[in-house]
Amino acid sequence: MMLLEGTFLALGVGHMRIQWAKYGEPFLSGLCCLQAGFLIWMALADSLLIAYVGYVFLRVSFQVMITVARFENLRFPCPSSDR
């Protein structure tokens, strides 16, 4: 289920008209901070439901983050790379 959610969200983010070269790093930084907040919230929560919802959010957001980063790395490789 999380794989499907992550896939659809990554496709949606990939089709957005965002200048990833300009806003990609702040987007990834903000997402990492949001994930850190969810981890702290999950650690302090007493409810298993909160922990499960947080885990689903972490998995889906991580999958989106990695997909966007890989796609941008393949689309705009580093000039010093030989590939």
pLDDT digits (tens, 9 = 90+) for 4-29: 766 677 677 767 777 777 887 888 88
Which structural domain range is residue 69 located in? 23-74
- Of 82, 51, 52, 67, the C-alpha closest to 13 is 67
Using the predicted structure, report yes or no on whether residue 45 has a pLDDT greater than 70. Answer: yes
Higher pLDDT, 71 or 57: 57
- What's residue 18's pLDDT? 72
- Verdict on whether the full-model pTM lies above 0.85: no
Q: Using CA atoms, how far apart are residues 53 and 4, in angstroms rounded to an integer?
A: 16
Q: Using CA atoms, how far apart are residues 26 and 36, in angstroms rounded to an integer?
A: 15
Q: Considering its fold, how many domains does the chain have in total?
A: 1
Residue 31 lies in a domain: yes
- Position 36 confidence tier, pLDDT thresholds 50, 70, 90: very high
Residue 64 lies in a domain: yes
